[in-house]
Amino acid sequence: MMVAEDNGSFGRRSATSRAGFFKKLYTEYGQEIVILGAIIVLLIVVGSYNPRFLSVRNLNTIFAGNAYIAVAAIGMSMVIITGHIDVSVGALIGVLATISGTIAVSGYPVWLAWLAPVVIGAAINMVVGILVAYARIPSIVVTLGMMSILRGGLISVTGGDWISGLPKSFMISQLKPFGVPAPIYFMVALTLLAAFWMRYSAFGRSLYAMGGNAEAARATGIPIERRTMIVFMIHGAFAGLATILFATQLQIIQSTVPPNLELTVITAAVIGGVSILGGTGTVIGSTFAAILFATIGSALIFTNVSAYWLRAVIGTLILVTVLVDVMRRRNKR
Amino acid sequence: MHKIMITTVLSMSLAAGVAHAQQSSWTGGDDLPTNPLACDGTPAEVAAMPYDGGTPTDAPDRMGKTLTVVDIPKLVGIGYFSATSKGIADAAAEMGTMDVKTDGPTRANIDDQITLIDNYITSGVDGILYAANDPVAIAPVLKKALAAGINVVGYDANSEPDSRQWFVNQAQFNGIAKSVIDNLSDEIGEDGAFAIVTSTFTTPNQARWIAEMAAYQQKCHPDMEWLETVEAQEDNILSFNQANTLINKYGPDLKGIVGMTSVATPAAADAVTQAGLCGSVAVVGLATPNAMKPYVEADCVKSVVLWNPVDLGYAAAYVLRATADGTLKPGDTSVEAGKLGELSVINGSEVLLGAPFVYNKSNINNFDF
């Protein structure tokens, strides 16, 4: 797993030996490799039990199934890496989906219906970011409040009505370029973009410093308040992108959000190796984790194992991941 | 290294689970006793239960007189209760002896509802129709109405039995179950295989419906194959994914998917639509008409099972009239309800609306909820 101090060294290091390379790869991307391994093991084991599990159709279902969660988890990972949390993202996605759908059925061009959730998501989270960064209110408090506002507002405004009659051109998630569902392209491209940005840009790298040791980061001249606010805005924009995938999958947009969506997104980040204490982790890990959830969910159906196992397995993964993270930090001290 | 070990243990336990997995016949229903209806639609034998409703104190003789009635639904301004109000108004217009007005809270709030009922008791009405926001909390104010000699009849959402005279029950679990399975067998045939997408195995209504569906299917359509039941919370994308996974797992063997909620049914229909399987995989389910219109209009879904809220309100108005007239008394086993005909009394003091309503292409656009 990456730590703040050696962050960025991977790209510059010259490979001395093959063994050293793999060791380094494992120390830096341990969690990502473990999760990727788990996905591959599951695919092989369940695929040999029932070959239909590995059919193109089912692989599409698995990889596209949680794409919107993976995209939302990118922004969430950034927020957690800087030492904060956001429990309002589920409600935010619900609100943005209703806004996007309303624009789409009101006859405006569809690009506006796609752009609106991204811009409005960033704007709403700018408020959160200002309250966290400048007013110094803990992010859990700010986002809990925001969650209530958004949920309550959504039900009040929509009256529980659903949006239907969405134009066909709006349904970007239903596209399948080259036989691959569009959400998969979004998930892969956005994950890679964010991963490179966080690894190689000065701004991206400063997120780790801010989450690892805010005072030390401040001493090196990082404008912590401004960057915290911007991170929340970026997170809001990713929530908007996740909304596009979420809202364009089905012909109906509900005024309710999947229950515990924010927890699923946070869980993807944490299991993906983002330390809940801030300072470490990558968005590649959170995307792998979102895919892992979908793989486990599908595997349970294919093997006739009770779905209760999904919760038990994910719960175990959370505890193990956090425990390992805490133990590692204690050992370093 | 810790993590490698832990992951290995986890994968092994998962793999062990896979190895031990067996085709289970468990359907996802609850363990309560079931009471499947007769296959041919003969009404169920009603076990006689003593009347457990309340009685108004010193009610005047209202036989044939014009009644002033207030209808207090859970809330106003939503399609569902607009439909029940319409049914009540239709019945009142048909009878010509009922002045009815609907007045409900603007949000589903029990305190607002109690205040409203209290106000109407003070202002003086002959009858109150209600759909309770809370069965227990509403009881005292309804008892107050009975004590003031007002006839009280509930519909849609019950209160404690002794706080009202009658309750019009929109659907029984075994009735819904019969309708779902009968419609499914019409679409996929007597030997078709199907799977269920529900909210969670522990959601009380869904678990009850599923248990009754399993019992009725065993009894009346024994050759249909119940493949499995999957959970999808109340999550539309998860419902979509689960329906897709069922399609992927069973391939052409899967002939039908049943959705148990207004979230699961449209999502399953969307999965079938996007897979290009409309016509090969039937979707039947419990859902509100608005949620299903796109799929019904596209001919991908043929039957959506629910009760008809217009009929529900209509029946409630007739039950209130019969109660005020004294033609529906404790101990009666049926009541005349206009165009709906004879409705049976069940559970002591409830009137059953009858078989559920099936929404299809010909009627779904008449409803907006």
User: Taking CB atoms and an 8 Å limit, are A42 and B14 in contact across chains?
Assistant: yes
Whether pLDDT at B9 is above 60: no
- Measured between CB atoms, which of A30, A37, A301 is closest to B245? A301
Q: Which residues of A touch B236 (CB under 8 A)?
A: 250, 252, 254, 258
Q: Which residues of A touch B15 (CB under 8 A)?
A: 41, 45
Whether pLDDT at B120 is above 70: yes
pLDDT average, residue stretch B135-146: 94
Residue B234: closest CA among chain A residues belongs to which residue? Answer: A258
Q: Which residues of A touch B275 (CB under 8 A)?
A: 57
Residue A273: closest CA among chain B residues belongs to which residue? Answer: B3
Tell me the pLDDT band of A259, cut-offs 50, 70 and 90: confident
Q: Which residues of B touch A252 (CB under 8 A)?
A: 236, 266, 270, 291, 294
User: Taking CB atoms and an 8 Å limit, are B236 and A65 in contact across chains?
Assistant: no
Q: List, as own/partner pairs, every contact residues B285-289 make where C-beta atoms lie below 8 angstroms and the sequence separation is at least 24, other chains included.
A: B285/B180, B285/B257, B285/B258, B285/B259, B285/B260, B285/B261, B286/B176, B286/B180, B286/B209, B286/B259, B286/B260, B286/B261, B286/B262, B287/B259, B287/B261, B287/B262, B288/B80, B288/B262, B288/B369, B289/B359, B289/B364, B289/B367, B289/B368, B289/B369
User: Taking CB atoms and an 8 Å limit, are B248 and A52 in contact across chains?
Assistant: yes
Q: What is the pLDDT of residue B45?
A: 67
Q: What is the pLDDT of residue B35?
A: 84
Percentage of chain A with pLDDT > 90? Answer: 60
Say if residues A229 and A236 touch (Cβ distance below 8 Å): no
The predicted complex's ipTM stands at 0.87
- Strand B193-198, strand B254-259: pairing: parallel
Lowest mean pLDDT among A196-210, B43-57, B207-221: B43-57
User: Taking CB atoms and an 8 Å limit, are B2 and A324 in contact across chains?
Assistant: yes
Whether pLDDT at A4 is above 70: no
Q: Which two tokens stand for residue B25?
A: 């016949």
User: Taking CB atoms and an 8 Å limit, are A254 and B236 in contact across chains?
Assistant: yes
How many Å apart are CA B287 and CA A277, to the nearest integer? 44
Residue B38, min C-alpha distance to chain A (Å): 32
Residue B325, min C-alpha distance to chain A (Å): 39
Residue B262: closest CA among chain A residues belongs to which residue? Answer: A254
Percentage of chain A with pLDDT > 70? Answer: 91
pLDDT average, residue stretch B226-244: 92
Question: What is the tens place of the pLDDT at every residue in B286-309?
Answer: 988 988 999 999 999 999 999 999
Tell me the pLDDT band of B16, cut-offs 50, 70 and 90: very low
How many Å apart are CA A75 and CA A53, to the nearest integer? 31
The residue with greater pLDDT, A30 or B228, is B228
How many Å apart are CA A107 and CA A123, to the nearest integer? 24
- Measured between CB atoms, which of A52, A303, A327 is closest to B21? A303
pLDDT average, residue stretch A222-237: 95
Q: What is the pLDDT of residue B277?
A: 95
Residue B246: closest CA among chain A residues belongs to which residue? Answer: A301
Kindly compute the dihedral angle of the four CA atoms of residues A168, A169, A172, A178, in this order, to the nearest 10 degrees. Answer: 100
User: Taking CB atoms and an 8 Å limit, are A258 and B237 in contact across chains?
Assistant: yes
Lowest mean pLDDT among A254-268, A299-313, B73-87: A299-313
User: Taking CB atoms and an 8 Å limit, are B293 and A256 in contact across chains?
Assistant: no
The residue with greater pLDDT, A25 or B296, is B296
Residue A33, min C-alpha distance to chain B (Å): 10
DSSP state of B46: P
User: Taking CB atoms and an 8 Å limit, are B295 and A251 in contact across chains?
Assistant: yes
pLDDT average, residue stretch A97-114: 93
Q: What is the 3-state secondary structure (H, E, C) of chain A?
A: CCCCCCCCHHHHCCCCCHHHHHHHHHHHHHHHHHHHHHHHHHHHHHHHHCHHHHCHHHHHHHHHHCHHHHHHHHHHHHHHHCCCCCCCHHHHHHHHHHHHHHHHHCCCCHHHHHHHHHHHHHHHHHHHHHHHHCCCCCHHHHHHHHHHHHHHHHHHHHCCCCEECCCHHHCHHHCCHHHCCHHHHHHHHHHHHHHHHHHHCHHHHHHHHHHHCHHHHHHCCCCHHHHHHHHHHHHHHHHHHHHHHHHCCCCEECCCCCCCHHHHHHHHHHHCCCCCCCCCCCHHHHHHHHHHHHHHHHHHHHCCCCCHHHHHHHHHHHHHHHHHHHHHHHHHC
How many Å apart are CA A3 and CA A280, to the nearest integer? 5
Q: Which residues of B touch A319 (CB under 8 A)?
A: none
Q: Determine how many CB atoms are found less than 10 A away from the CB of residue A33.
A: 19
Tell me the pLDDT band of A156, cut-offs 50, 70 and 90: confident
Percentage of chain B with pLDDT > 70? Answer: 92
- Measured between CB atoms, which of B21, B242, B294 is closest to A251? B294
User: Taking CB atoms and an 8 Å limit, are A65 and B237 in contact across chains?
Assistant: yes
- Measured between CB atoms, which of A58, A174, A259 is closest to B274? A174
Question: What is the tens place of the pLDDT at every residue in B167-214?
Answer: 999 888 889 999 999 999 999 999 999 999 998 887 778 888 999 999
Question: What is the tens place of the pLDDT at every residue in B310-334?
Answer: 999 999 999 999 999 999 999 898 9
Q: What is the pLDDT of residue A57?
A: 93
> What integer best gives the mean pLDDT of chain B?
88
Percentage of chain B with pLDDT > 90? Answer: 65
Say if residues B135 and B158 touch (Cβ distance below 8 Å): yes
Whether pLDDT at B21 is above 90: no
3-class SS of residue B283: strand
What does CATH list as the number for A58-332?
A: 1.10.3470
Q: Which residues of B touch A256 (CB under 8 A)?
A: 234, 263
pLDDT average, residue stretch B255-262: 93
Q: What is the pLDDT of residue A307?
A: 66
Q: Which residues of B touch A327 (CB under 8 A)?
A: 2
Q: What is the pLDDT of residue A331?
A: 67
Q: Determine how many CB atoms are found less than 10 A away from the CB of residue B223.
A: 10
Q: What is the pLDDT of residue A16?
A: 56
Residue A298, min C-alpha distance to chain B (Å): 6
Q: What is the pLDDT of residue A8?
A: 42
Residue A249, min C-alpha distance to chain B (Å): 8
Q: What is the pLDDT of residue A2?
A: 41
Q: What is the pLDDT of residue B233?
A: 84
Show me where the domains of chain A are located.
58-332
- Choose among B73, B92, B93, B95: nearest CA to B84: B73
pTM here? Answer: 0.84
Helices A283-302, A18-49: axis angle to 10 degrees equals: 20
3-class SS of residue B17: helix
How many Å apart are CA A146 and CA A123, to the nearest integer? 13
User: Taking CB atoms and an 8 Å limit, are A305 and B17 in contact across chains?
Assistant: yes
User: Taking CB atoms and an 8 Å limit, are B15 and A302 in contact across chains?
Assistant: no
Q: Which residues of B touch A34 (CB under 8 A)?
A: 3-4, 7
| Domains of chain B in sequence order | 67-170+308-354 (3.40.50.2300), 173-306 (3.40.50.2300)
Query: Cα B353 to the chain's mean position, in Å?
Result: 11
Q: Which residues of B touch A160 (CB under 8 A)?
A: 78
Residue B147, min C-alpha distance to chain A (Å): 36
pLDDT average, residue stretch A81-92: 94
Q: What is the pLDDT of residue B288?
A: 87
Whether pLDDT at A145 is above 60: yes
Residue A189, min C-alpha distance to chain B (Å): 21
Q: What is the pLDDT of residue B24?
A: 44
- Measured between CB atoms, which of A46, A53, A301 is closest to B230? A301
Query: Cα A312 to the chain's mean position, in Å?
Result: 21
Q: Which residues of A touch B241 (CB under 8 A)?
A: 61, 65-66, 294, 297-298
Whether pLDDT at B2 is above 60: no
- Choose among A213, A233, A229, A224: nearest CA to A277: A213
Q: Which residues of A touch B266 (CB under 8 A)?
A: 250-252
Question: What is the tens place of the pLDDT at every residue in A35-76?
Answer: 898 899 889 989 999 999 999 999 999 999 999 999 999 999
Residue B26: closest CA among chain A residues belongs to which residue? Answer: A306
Q: Which residues of A touch B2 (CB under 8 A)?
A: 324, 327
